[in-house]
Chains A and B, each alone.
Chain A
Amino acid sequence: MKKYSQKPGEISEFSDLPFWKKADGVDLAYVGYGLLIVTLVVASYLLGMFKLLPHDPEEISLELLMAPAGTPGYLLGTDFMGRDILTRLILGIQAYFLPGLLAIAIALLFGTLLGVLAGYRGGWVDTAITYFTNLVDSFPRMVLILLVVAAFKPDIYYIMLVVGITNVPVVASLIKGKIQFLRQKSFIEAAIALGLPTKTIIWKHILWHNCKALLIIQATIGMGEAILMETSLSYLGFGVQEPTPSWGNMVQAGSNYFMQGKFWPSTAPALAILFTILGFHLLGDGLNNILEGKRNK
């Protein structure tokens, strides 16, 4: 049973409703959850940066091995070496936060650049960029990273550089599509006809007014992917190494005790990964529906 109703009296031409009333409730819930996760991640990152932690992350207490969650003083319990899980989860954010931002910055910067070039210039520039994006798309990202790992034994920042580069094609093709769509619109044609400098048209009329939402959405999706990549690599042993905590190597280390039925030390970081990535995905999706107006017809 779906209910629709309207207020009595005159209805104004364009509604002055705030955006949250116009948006779908589901999308608002997505965005709300996503923003909560973002806040938590940023707050935890700052806590970790200023060393405001409940425990020393590497403090080993042999009398408290794999304590369950809720143990006094150890809110989320301890791992197989008696280290506080909560502390290590908070600190684990250091492993991907800045590298992830780097990946996003690269993807957005170069993606926008190439997208604008391909969409606005067209011709051989477009062909070359299409070739480049197809080339990057041909590599499974993980295999490319393993190749880079084998060649350089790099740290996580260099790996995120690669992740950023592999995300360039997605952003570039979206921007290109948007520009090709916008160029047919009369306001861009009018701007060109008025003799506005190309720079102004691209910056102000195309990127600022029409691609802002798209870039924000890509940034949130990019963060989710960066987290996935960092945790996967740390799990595989190529990212952040013990004893420095990362959610990935925490799952890996904890998994050695899985067969003894000790799930928690591995599951806690796994859940952290789950809810964080989910948050970024839903944030991207909700924003997409609200800002790009996918559901309002």
Chain B
Amino acid sequence: MTSTPLLNIEGLRTYFYSRSKQAFIRSVDNVSLAIARGETLGVVGESGSGKSVTALSVMGLITAAPGVISGRIEFTSGGVARNLLENLDRYVQLTEEHGRIMGVAKDAAGWRKNAEHLLGRVRGKEIGMIFQNPKAALNPFTTVGKQIAEVVQLHTSHKGVGEARERAIHWLERVKIDSPRLRYDNHPFGLSGGMCQRAMIAMALSSEPSLLIADEPTTGLDATIQSKIVDLLAELKQDIGITTMLISHDISVIKRLSDRVAVMYGGTVVENGPAAEILAGDAASRHPYTAALLASIPNETHVREKTPLLAIEGEVLDTINTPAGCRFYARCNRVTDKIRQQCERCEPDLREIEPGHRVRCWLYFD
């Protein structure tokens, strides 16, 4: 890559502790991702693969314990890259066994105090975020407009009340909400799900951030509304050119908007590369999981020729009993006898197979 990426995540781990099982849920387990300025990275995977938790970890929005425990989250702002998890290692002690974390001791208060200090400068201001289920994500007790104006006042130079209001209305207009002046005074309960998501997008963009994280922006919306929101995002991408981390389990959404794609499975990234190569290239050059995922999506050929869909065999990996070997081994249909032992025993690295295209699979090690 030519320049430093805008956001660079390395070795991120976010665990939750299940009291009833007395075990860790390895929601995000050693995730590495990078987003270059101006590009849209699509993060795709089944539910439970750790996509959303990765995004929430970046924003420091994890509330369950122990939460983020290790890794680097480098964010470039004003030409300087800064690790958002800087100096936080000292609040965490890890007990490892055969390379697997078995115990975590975390000084949550100390961690929080230090993390908030760094995050406070980027949250909302440098990184905007939109969520799934927009109706619940907007404050039901305040008007939509005031919630946007609040962001304007907090993070931009428009500090005056009237000024902020005008800016908020401008952004409502920008996300194509009809009669924005009227909508400004509406409470979220008076708006449809699609309108709420538009308002959320307006809110996230109103601080003019350098990175937008869209966490399942179309989930929970009607199909027609979904496509309209995707249209809006595509349009905004072209107009503003904002760097975006787009999280979705819907491959069509990812395909439409992304420049690069990261495929997640069982809490880690299994493939990472240009969208064109991963989503449209030939199956041989892809991770078996990605291939299986794409094969399970109905397309025109399926409909026309009535061929059966290829479902992925087996069940979604539960992130409590993460295997020592490849996470996808149990469901993989491309294991060869040559690599079987490796697949079972050790986890492969994310290896570059073509420039900018990495795959975590033993098939590509030779």
Contact = CB atoms under 8 A, between A and B. Distances in A.
A297 B18 CA distance: 9
Interface string A284-297: 00000000000011
Interface in A1-40: 1-8, 10-12, 14-15, 17, 21-22
Contact of A15 (B22, B95, B97): B22
Contacts of B104: 3-5
A22 B19 contact: yes
A4 B17 contact: yes
Nearest to A24: B19
A176 to B, nearest CB: 25
Contacts of B311: none
Interface in B88-106: 95, 97, 102-106
Which of B22, B64, B97 has the most chain A CB atoms closer than 10 A to its own CB? Answer: B22
A10 B95 contact: no
Contact of B105 (A2, A8, A21): A2
A221 B184 CA distance: 48
B103 to A, nearest CB: 4
A20 to B, nearest CB: 12
A3 B105 CA distance: 4
Interface residues of A, number: 18
A11 B17 CA distance: 13
A11 B20 contact: no
Contact of A6 (B20, B65, B102, B106): B102
A296 B104 CA distance: 20
Which of B19, B66, B108 has the most chain A CB atoms closer than 10 A to its own CB? Answer: B19
Contacts of B107: 1-2
A15 B105 contact: no
Contacts of B95: 5
A2 B19 contact: no
Interface in B191-221: none
Interface in B54-97: 64-66, 95, 97
A17 to B, nearest CB: 7
B24 A1 contact: no
B23 A11 contact: yes
A78 B104 CA distance: 56
B23 A6 contact: yes
A296 B22 contact: no
Nearest to A10: B321
Nearest to B97: A8
Nearest to B98: A8
Interface string A257-297: 00000000000000000000000000000000000000011
A268 B225 CA distance: 70
Interface string B136-180: 000000000000000000000000000000000000000000000
A6 B108 contact: no
A8 B103 contact: no
A296 B19 contact: yes
Contacts of A10: 321
A110 B366 CA distance: 77
B321 A2 contact: no
Which of A2, A10, A14 has the most chain B CB atoms closer than 10 A to its own CB? Answer: A2
A6 B19 contact: no
Nearest to A12: B21
A2 B108 contact: yes
A8 B102 contact: yes
A14 to B, nearest CB: 8
Given A4-B66, A6-B24, A22-B19, A11 B105 contact: no
Interface in A191-225: none
Given A17-B20, A22-B20, A2 B320 contact: no
Contacts of B106: 1-2, 4
Nearest to B66: A4
Given A11-B320, A11-B321, A1 B105 contact: yes
B65 A4 contact: yes
B85 to A, nearest CB: 18
Which of B23, B66, B106 has the most chain A CB atoms closer than 10 A to its own CB? Answer: B23
Contacts of B103: 3-6
A266 B95 CA distance: 56
A21 B102 CA distance: 19
Contacts of A6: 22-24, 102-103
Given A4-B24, A7-B22, 18 more contacts: A1-B106, A2-B65, A2-B107, A4-B66, A4-B104, A4-B105, A4-B106, A6-B103, A7-B23, A8-B97, A11-B22, A12-B21, A14-B21, A15-B20, A15-B22, A22-B19, A22-B20, A297-B64
Q: Which 4 A-B pairs have the closest CB atoms?
A: A5-B103, A6-B23, A11-B23, A4-B17
11 contacts: A2-B66, A2-B106, A4-B24, A4-B106, A6-B24, A6-B103, A7-B22, A7-B102, A11-B23, A14-B20, A296-B19
Interface of A: 1-8, 10-12, 14-15, 17, 21-22, 296-297
